[in-house]
Chain A
Amino acid sequence: MLGFGGQTALNCGVKLDEMEALKKYGVRVLGTQVSGIKATEDRQLFKDSMIECNVPVLKSKTVYNFEQAKEIANELGYPVIIRVAYTLGGKGGGVAHNEIELHEIVARGLNASLVGQVLIEEYVGHWKQIEYEVMADYDGNNVIICNMENVLSMRVHTGDNIVVAPSQTLNNYEYQMLRSAALRAAKHVGIVGECNIQFALDMDSDKYVAIEMNPRLSRSSALASKATGYPIAYMAAKIGMGYKLPELANRITKTTTACFEPSLDYIVCKHPRWDFGKFELANRNLGPTMKSVGEVMAVGRCFEESLQKAIRMLEIGNDGLVANRKADETYDIEDLENKLQKADDKILYHVAAALRQGIAVERIYKLSAIDPWFIEKIQNIVAKEKSLKEEKLDKKLLREAKVFGFSDKQIGRLAGKDDMEIRKMRKENGITPVVKRIDTLAAEWPAQTNYLYLTYGGTANDFEVASSSEKIAVLGAGPYRIGSSVEFDWGTVNMVWGLKENGVKEVSVINCNPETVSTDYDICDRLYFEELTLERVLDIAEFENLTGIVTAVGGQTANNLTPKLAKNGIKIIGTSFEDIDRAENRSNFSKVLDDLHIRQPPWQAFAKLADAKKFALSVGYPVLVRPSYVLSGAAMKVVWSEEQLKKYLDEATNVSPDYPVVITKFMLNSLEAEVDGVSDGKNVVIGAVIEHIEGAGVHSGDSMMCIPPWSLSNKVIETILDYTNKIASAFQIKGPFNLQFLINSDQVYVIELNIRASRSMPFVSKFVRMNLINLAARAVLGRPLPHVPKDRWRKIHSYGVKVPQFSFMQLEGADIILGVEMQSTGEAACFGESFYDALAKGLMSSGFALPKEGSVLITAGGSENKEKLLQTALLLKSLGYKILATEHTAEFLSDKRIGDVEVVYKISEPQRKPNIADLLYERKIDFIINVPSTSTLEKYVGMLYDEYQIRRKAVELGVPVLITTELADSFAKTLEWLRHNETTKKPLESYEKIE
């Protein structure tokens, strides 16, 4: 089955087929055949097949070099769009308005494409972007599961678009015309299972073209599944195995057929989550290359409600489209018009601003290519904002605002009241949301499942929760973002299963991320596809009459709700709120550590800039700064100067106004280690001690890490274990926890305690074959944990390595230097019989090419780094790699008697040859070791623009860049290891039952 692992799996399958590996081993492809995959993936084949089945396409031509591209672009006329064959998320594509842009995008695209081809195509940015999800079986039965409309038209990649389902601006004829075209296309290329097809529809006639087809499960199909309640992947798997669509039953009604088309009675709004803030130089404009790192889906009974819910779900600090904590920026008309023309992540706020300034809907449409219908709906929100600001808040207005998706916070802010006052006023007036089911067929048949959402667009609940048994809700993690990804979904799902195993009668999940398993309605008893806001969680708690809520597995999102929920009388299942509070409050935490005689780096909390400055000066820069109550490195930063400190503090007060800022001495040249574990308050189960491969300072989420520790002494490990036990008992932890340490000159310092599931827990659980969250489920319920030897993890004689995955390629302009803010968007975990076995697999999995021969460019800042890289350079030399280096580095290496170092010149000196830029384009550099003098200092002081250019170009051309000395060393040793070894291939072993 090739269609279930995204583009990566699909590419892999095609490759296996081309190598005839499938044939050799007699392996059959189930579902869509490789010929069908190729007919959709290869741009030219796709266009040909579409024309064969009478589906129109855009004029375009496939090209293999820039000269051809130029010719075609002139023929079609600018602007043209460049699309890349065989890539993820439109990687490498772009819109070129002139020849210069064309050159840049084509060069990048040719490189990103596995087959070295790009397509030059007419650009129809202002057309509507409509998608259909098709299911088809071997017998030719086919249905549409869902259609979707992109609010930001064709201009923006669907992954970065705000998407509604079903389409809102199409009439019956247009809907059916595209539906038939989708079915025709799917049948023609031989889709068996599921596919997504994207159309551009003229907003001015019923002219349309097919843009592309994904012959696999995609982000869009996951969204379509959640939007409709139709489990597309499940059905596609069954179909792959040979079932016919009509033989399968609708999983919601259990009686009607799965060979039907879901009918929705709500409107779904998908909103992407971007994390541009983490990348200082990244370009925020939205276009044909996907830049978002996650998404949310909101369900409501009108667009206004769905949209405002979605914005809250993003957890970017906004309470809706309007009336946010940060005052709306004001722009002059010209500025606004520019912003409307060039969509970025704030486009809808700009639309709202334009409406407030009286720019006509028509004008906004012309500039933004957003259909007037959507703009009119935003106008409704803006108008309601005005009423709330100017009129007396009565029952009618309050209800109207709620129907349009205003949160109590927004209403309170506009009416000059506290959100809790608004809540009280609502309840007194009987204004509460109703609970509705998502059931695939608009209530025509009774649903046997509880897939739910809350809305003010209705008067009656679909059902009432009758039982009086123990009812627990587990909070999920919200949208994927940098720092919170599938790890927490794994935690949520395993917690639900663990609670059920331990006899909890009714478990519900609250989450809003359509990419997750925790939002599958058959994981738990009741799924609330809802906002993780205090207001909504309280609504659900009241509707359910919950016994309590588990907040320990949903990462930062859920954890941040803990104090607010506790203050509102909700029982926190697991570690008590008081204990969590003691750990989160830096002063209290520190005091406990002092009492336990456990070391920590010097720190202090500050509410005033002057005091902070004084402290930073006394311990010496760099210092680590963060708000005292926000976890997991969010808004944590290493600052190197007073000016930066001031800037940071200005921003930090926006992050968390209620809590002061903590400044910690940043210990350079330290090692970092973590422990993942579970405690029942007395007994502690150690998952493992993990050591980071990079030195401290690189965010733990961006760091490669290894079990068992590769360099820590036994004494240090014993100390870590001892500290872990003491701290877990001191805070009476009942559930999962993660403890982070710095090791400097063999001294162990505690830097952070998180009383919740951590990012590394699934990695640790898989490595030690012990499901930590399953144990945590027992602990949160107050049951004793089994006794597990504290060195259980040390008895496993293999290695586990976790490697981060970055998406710098998509983030135009972003620098790849790692710092204390996390930047990775995913990770790979690999196990092996030796450290290098595991590392080799890990590097390959995360996209590093491991060249057997070739050239390496070394450029290091500062003599310390140069010294550190010497051994690495020697090793590479002895392995036969040609070494290129920039002037100073080359000089240093020659001084150290490393011969044959070729001097190359900086990108900023293009007249000096050989130049790095040319060598990169000519593929004469296979990998790069580029270590700035300290990992962050000069970046912030702005000295290293040239090095930034090297890294950026390399990223765009897909050349691996190693940016720390540790990583360079490990990489070289892995190359050496691969000379004499092959990586092991073993299946992952299942969890052991721990009694």
Chain B
Amino acid sequence: MRVTEIPTKKAKHVEKFGKLVLEDGTVFEGKGFGYSTTVFGEAVFNTGMVGYTESLTDPSYSGQILTLTYPLVGNYGVPDQSEKDSDGIRKYFESDRIQARGLVVHELSLTASHWNIAMTLDEWLYNEKIPGISGIDTRALTTKLRTGGVMMAALAVSEKEIDAEDLKKKLAAAKKYNDEEFMDVVSVKEPQVYGEGKESVVIVDTGVKNAILRNVRHLGYKVIRVPWNYSIEKILSYNPKGVVISNGPGDPVKCAKTMETAKNLIEKNIPTLGICLGAQILGLAGGASTYKIKYGHRGQNKSCIDLENKKVYVTSQNHGYCINPESLKNTDFKLWFANTDDNTVEGIRHTKKKVIAVQFHPEASPGPFDCMFVFEELKKLIGEDNAKR
């Protein structure tokens, strides 16, 4: 009987001092791990039970300190970062680096084991200069964020004792999440091309996850990833069959240039799919409005109903902003998906143009694969478009 080895690795950058201070003055004491530094960001929680490598590298977490509600984290370590697929897209990660500012967990597994482990979670955080804290009552923290709403937080990890009062002062002076600009940080500077294909799809990178690139590639298109502020002319110069406006961090109203592009895409009736932030941008471009929800939707178990056929799907979500459903009345968008728990807008479809958008993450990673059909919808729109020409 074949019993091979399972590589096992021990945590190295642990047992440091760690403190988490919330805007409302709450202090959580824990053990620091990863990199010793102090960061400030919006404290949010995600209820997924797997997928910390994917979540941490999701650019939508820029500017945020991520709390995982699942208490045991780091069990399977971190896979090899250098592994790429045939298109040159990283195999196991959603971007080139950790995007969240900090990580808050109940228990960091001090040993990790998995057949494809390359390093432990703390080691990865250390390498990427990201602080983490363990030993936190994450359920108490989550309840606080649920009732009080997401708020700014400071996370300090140090080799020395940390002064909470000092941390509070620094937090008060820190730049607020809502005031930050993320686009230049998360977007590519120059266009990038992935794969071959007769037909191309342009992905407007407002903080795109690799899984979106992978899924569009799977449809058979050559993928051209362009900066968030690329003009419509430049985009059309690639003669794309379709366009995807990606996910990303922050308030959609700050992406004025992408919104301009979106308006043009709608007007020109280019087959377009918006995902998450991209959906909000398309909504805004079509005349709808957006707002910030109290504590966001972050998890892998969020049910959305497809209002066209009444089917319900379990989706992966990560968003703090939403399209205002009332505001859709004045637009040519109709509601496509709604969240079954709180009726928030989870997808819209243009009634006249080939434009669709979803608030959830059809590309999963992390999360369930159930909504991959959304990419097929884009392909369908492109097919209709091709047929017409």
Contact = CB atoms under 8 A, between A and B. Distances in A.
Interface in A263-284: 263-267
B47 A442 contact: yes
B301 A172 contact: no
A369 B4 CA distance: 10
Interface stretch (B161-169, B197-205, B230-238, B363-371): B363-371
Contacts of B110: 376, 380
B314 A376 contact: no
B311 interface: yes
Contact of A376 (B47, B51, B111, B300): B111
Nearest to B5: A362
A255 B50 contact: no
Contact of B50 (A170, A260, A301): A170
Contacts of B138: 265
Interface string B1-45: 111111010000000000000000000000000000000000001
Interface string B98-131: 0000000011011111110000000000000000
A591 to B, nearest CB: 55
Contacts of A245: 312
A637 to B, nearest CB: 42
A180 interface: yes
B50 A443 contact: no
Interface string A355-380: 00000011001100101110010001
Interface stretch (B69-77, B255-263, B321-329): B69-77
Interface string A72-88: 00000001000000000
Give the interface residue-count category, chain B. 35 or more
A416 to B, nearest CB: 28
A491 interface: no
Interface string A235-260: 00000000011100000000111011
Given A171-B53, A442-B47, A460-B140, A373 B312 contact: no
Contacts of B3: 126, 365-366, 369
A265 B140 contact: no
A267 B71 contact: yes
B341 A445 contact: yes
Contacts of A91: none
Interface in A754-772: none
State the 5 A-B residue pairs at the shortest beta-carbon distance, nearest first.
A172-B51, A442-B69, A261-B301, A460-B140, A376-B111
Contact of A444 (B53, B75, B146, B365): B146
Contacts of A255: 341
A96 B282 CA distance: 63
A462 B139 contact: yes
B142 A459 contact: no
A274 B340 CA distance: 44
A436 B113 CA distance: 29
Dominant secondary structure at the A interface? loop
15 contacts: A139-B310, A144-B314, A166-B50, A168-B75, A175-B51, A176-B369, A260-B341, A261-B314, A265-B138, A267-B71, A302-B72, A441-B47, A442-B69, A442-B139, A443-B146
A90 interface: no
Interface of B: 1-6, 8, 45, 47-51, 53-54, 69-72, 75-76, 79, 92, 106-107, 109-115, 137-140, 142-143, 146, 299-303, 305, 310-312, 314, 340-341, 364-370
A257 B69 contact: no
A265 B139 contact: yes
Contact of A176 (B76, B113, B364): B364
A498 interface: no
A442 B70 contact: yes
A303 interface: yes
B8 A362 contact: yes
B299 A170 contact: no
Interface residues of A, number: 66
A169 interface: yes
A443 B144 CA distance: 10
Given A302-B72, A373-B113, A260 B301 contact: yes
B70 A373 contact: no
Given A172-B50, A372-B111, A441 B301 contact: yes
A442 B303 contact: no
Nearest to B366: A172
A287 interface: no
Nearest to B305: A246
Interface of A: 79, 123, 125-126, 139-141, 143-144, 166-173, 175-176, 179-180, 183, 203-205, 244-246, 255-257, 259-267, 301-303, 361-362, 365-366, 369, 371-373, 376, 380, 434, 436, 441-446, 457-460, 462
Contacts of B113: 169, 371-373, 376
B75 A462 contact: no
Contacts of B75: 168-169, 373
Contacts of A261: 300-301, 314, 368
B14 to A, nearest CB: 14
B301 A246 contact: no
Contacts of A126: 1-3
B69 A443 contact: yes
A126, A203, A263, A446: most-surrounded residue (chain B CB, <10 A):
A263
Contacts of A175: 49-51
A262 B2 CA distance: 36
B299 A301 contact: no
A128 to B, nearest CB: 10
Given A246-B310, A443-B139, 6 more contacts: A168-B75, A171-B79, A176-B50, A260-B314, A458-B139, A460-B137
A152 to B, nearest CB: 14
A204 B76 contact: no
A262 B69 CA distance: 12
Given A169-B76, A172-B365, A302-B71, A260 B303 contact: yes
A844 B220 CA distance: 63
Contact of B107 (A173, A443, A457, A459): A457
Contacts of B140: 458-460
A154 to B, nearest CB: 11
Nearest to A250: B341
Nearest to B299: A263
A436 B142 CA distance: 13
Nearest to A166: B49
Contact of A266 (B1, B2, B71, B143): B71
A180 B137 CA distance: 32
A203 B6 contact: yes
B111 A264 contact: no
Nearest to A126: B3
A443 B142 contact: yes
Contacts of B115: 203-205
B368 A176 contact: yes
Contact of B114 (A166, A171, A179, A246): A171
B299 A259 contact: no
Contacts of A462: 139, 143
B366 A372 contact: no
Nearest to B113: A372
Contacts of A256: 340-341
A264 B70 CA distance: 7
Contacts of B302: 260
Contact of B368 (A171, A180, A267): A180
Contacts of B47: 263, 265, 441-442, 444
Nearest to B145: A443
Contact of A265 (B70, B79, B300): B70
B341 A457 contact: no
Contacts of A441: 47, 301
Nearest to B296: A444
Nearest to B115: A204
Contacts of B71: 265-267, 301-302, 457
Contacts of A376: 8, 110-111, 113
A867 B47 CA distance: 72
Contacts of B142: 265, 442-444
A254 to B, nearest CB: 12
A126 B368 CA distance: 27
